[in-house]
Amino acid sequence: MTRLPVDNFIELPRYRSAHSRCTVWRVYVKASTRKTRDGQTIRYLQLAHNEWDSVAKVSRTKVLYSFGREDQLDVSGVRRLVDALSRLLDPADALAAAAPAGLSFVESRPLGGAWLLDGLWRQLGIDKIVTGLAGVRRRDVDVERVLFALVANRALKPSSKLAAAEWVCHDVHLPGLPFVTDDACYRAMDDLISVEPKLTRAVYDQIADLLNLEVDLLFFDTTSTYFELDEADEPLWRDEHGEVVDDGAPTAVKQAGFRTYGKSKDGRDDLPQVVVGMAVTRTGIPVRVWCWPGNTNDSALIRQVKTEMRDWNLARVVWVADRGFASEANRRFLQQAGGHYILGEKLRAGTTEADAALARQGRYATVTDNLQVKEVNIGADDRFVICFNPEAADRDAAVRARLVAQLTDKIDGSDKLSVTKRAELRGVISTKPGLNRYLRVTPGGLLRVDAAAVKAEQRLDGKYLLRCSDPKLSAEDIALGYKQLLEVERGWRDMKTTLDLRPVYHRREDRIRAHILLCWLGLLLIRVAETTTGRTWNKIRAEAERLHVGVFTGPAGTFCQRTELSQPHKTILARLKITEPPRIIDATPATA
């Protein structure tokens, strides 16, 4: 019996029990020989390991698998076995185990995620758009590759620009960019923001043609993102769109810092912020992003958005927005040039339209299990649709019952308190909006549960009111169209979590704007990946990042080889119509 060279050893973990530590198997290929009657020597190959016999106090060979005669070896079967064993290892260990004799395994980096994003980047033509824009050409660095690297970083491993440069240099195999500095990242961001209007328009034109985007409904919403600062930025003169202008310029309308205090949608009114807006198609594709100083009022922003997208070759568009944009001025503006809108209407505002709509009788028509609609005619120019969600109604009733119970418990026995103590209790309850909504103070200063307020809220359980200017849409289409506004909310959620819009590590206004633009490009790529494959980005990324590239060195030089493509890898790349990466990524001969 003989053993093959030590290079053929493979270490696999073997668990003794559910509660014990694992023992390492040192597996090797054993060769045994026998001679036939005619004197021919035949070799047999077996997969074996040595196992300690605690009774005899000796190490014994145990055969795990027999390959049969060496001259009749099933090579394809061996390959399948190697592939199966490789799946038990992480990509780096799998590459190291498969290293050819005489070569040293140096490192392993993820390839799949960057390869996939680069394929989408090129497929959407963003590489040519960026390269073709004047102002983004530098002799010392490939700006297009650096910008792609920053976008890929947002989608794969969000970090600061300094950390992103380290990531490119040491932690990922990025097609066409083996090395970058943080200074090159900042310069590329400066170039990006200088061509923002041309870039966003060119990208929209390209994806609208390639993806056949449906823009009959265009959803718009805003959010805010805060900064961990002690003080806001210095106020500067700005125009009505929030852009900085010279002092005394005719377009100057107000002074404001970019990072400044405002009404925070993250509940952080104590910190400076900026306001970010986004327009999204019905399939969730973000077509453009904007940002304004943190104290900008939402109400008028949709007018600016419609104006700036007027020349984007949009056909008949119905703008969809929530009740924060439903002012009369906005409604008139959105109807210009034949446009229409679907807007949320405040039910608790006590407006004439809302009260009249709720007072109308009629049956609801069931659209889905959790959506019923009823169109009401109140004699106004617009159409009004009341939407009812039975599941939401049950939740609203349960929440209200809990709040009323808490309020009852707090004010129980308060009649016996002194006037001062009762006023103190009243002040405490006033800081809790949920409880304060149902509190009533009698003329004598006594605290009571407001039965009228409870009854009024019961009428609103699970309901929301929509206003629409389009006479051709059915009530069901209006309700379903508004419900798709959730696509924007999903976009904000992914911007703030998957792409890490926050924290922002920049101080300068132009670089904050560039950072938001990079997040938008990242969101665009992952939305295209999701809508094409039918999978979430988290699952796509997790699968893609298992594809690695390993670096091997030897006397002849250095070469890079990828790991084997799994079936999920092949499926994802096929659905996205992206070519598979070559097995040998790069080969560099040794210098004499």
Tell me which of 442 and 300 has the higher pLDDT: 442
Give the model's pLDDT for residue 22.
44
pLDDT in tens, 43-79: 888 888 788 888 888 888 888 878 888 888 877 777 6
Residue at 539 is within a domain: no
Tokens encoding 205: 């034109």
Long-range Cβ contacts of 571-576 (<8 Å, 24+ apart) = 572/116, 572/533, 572/535, 572/540, 572/543, 572/544, 573/116, 573/119, 575/532, 575/533, 576/116, 576/119, 576/120, 576/123, 576/529, 576/532, 576/533
Region of 58 please: left (phi>0), alpha (psi -120 to 50) or beta.
Answer: beta
* Cβ atoms of 348 and 468 closer than 8 Å: no
In this prediction, residues 109-120 reach a mean pLDDT of: 96
For the purposes of burial, counting CB atoms within 10 Å of the CB of 225, is it exposed (0-12), middle (13-18) or buried (19 or more)?
buried
Co-location of 349 and 432 in the same domain: no
Tell me which of 67 and 429 has the higher pLDDT: 429
Strands (E) across 322-453 are located at: 340-345, 365-368, 371-376, 383-388, 439-441, 447-449
Co-location of 244 and 321 in the same domain: yes
**pLDDT exceeds 90 at position 580:** yes
**pLDDT exceeds 70 at position 375:** yes
Co-location of 362 and 247 in the same domain: yes
**pLDDT exceeds 80 at position 169:** yes
Tell me which of 504 and 522 has the higher pLDDT: 522
Co-location of 225 and 371 in the same domain: yes
CATH number at residue 285: 3.30.420.10
Query: Sorting pLDDT into bands at 50, 70 and 90, what band is 98?
Result: low
Segment of 285-289, 297-301, 377-381 carrying the highest mean pLDDT:
285-289
For the chain, what percent of residues have pLDDT higher than 90?
A: 49
Residue at 491 is within a domain: yes
End-to-end Cα, the chain, rounded Å: 43
Query: Sorting pLDDT into bands at 50, 70 and 90, what band is 17?
Result: very low
For tokens 């400044």, name the residue.
260
Co-location of 418 and 489 in the same domain: no
pLDDT in tens, 26-35: 677 888 888 8
Domain membership of residue 398 as a residue range: 391-458
For tokens 């001969």, name the residue.
589
In this prediction, residues 118-125 reach a mean pLDDT of: 95
CA distance 506 to 568: 38
Give the model's pLDDT for residue 276.
94
Residue at 478 is within a domain: yes
* Cβ atoms of 564 and 580 closer than 8 Å: no
Question: Which of 342-356, 483-497, 556-570 has the least mean pLDDT?
Answer: 342-356
**pLDDT exceeds 70 at position 1:** no
Co-location of 398 and 497 in the same domain: no
Co-location of 23 and 82 in the same domain: yes
**pLDDT exceeds 50 at position 367:** yes
Co-location of 225 and 277 in the same domain: yes
In this prediction, residues 546-564 reach a mean pLDDT of: 87
State which amino acid sits at residue 354.
A
Co-location of 266 and 316 in the same domain: yes
Query: Sorting pLDDT into bands at 50, 70 and 90, what band is 105?
Result: confident
Give the model's pLDDT for residue 154.
96
Residue at 147 is within a domain: no
For the chain, what percent of residues have pLDDT higher than 70?
A: 90
Give the model's pLDDT for residue 389.
93
Question: Which of 56-60, 91-95, 430-434, 568-572 has the least mean pLDDT?
Answer: 91-95
pLDDT in tens, 230-261: 789 999 999 888 989 998 888 888 899 999 99
Query: Sorting pLDDT into bands at 50, 70 and 90, what band is 355?
Result: confident
Co-location of 357 and 252 in the same domain: yes
Residue at 536 is within a domain: no
Residue at 189 is within a domain: no
**pLDDT exceeds 60 at position 161:** yes
Co-location of 332 and 481 in the same domain: yes
User: Among 86, 117, 145, which residue terminates a domain?
Assistant: 86
Residue at 547 is within a domain: no
Co-location of 353 and 317 in the same domain: yes
Give the model's pLDDT for residue 100.
60
**pLDDT exceeds 50 at position 10:** no
Give the model's pLDDT for residue 21.
44
Beta pairing partners, 373: 365, 387
pLDDT in tens, 469-502: 998 889 999 999 998 888 888 899 999 989 999 8
User: Among 32, 60, 86, which residue terminates a domain?
Assistant: 86
User: Among 86, 101, 134, which residue terminates a domain?
Assistant: 86
**pLDDT exceeds 50 at position 179:** yes
Give the model's pLDDT for residue 94.
64
Beta pairing partners, 109: 549
* Number of structural domains in the chain: 3
Residue at 92 is within a domain: no
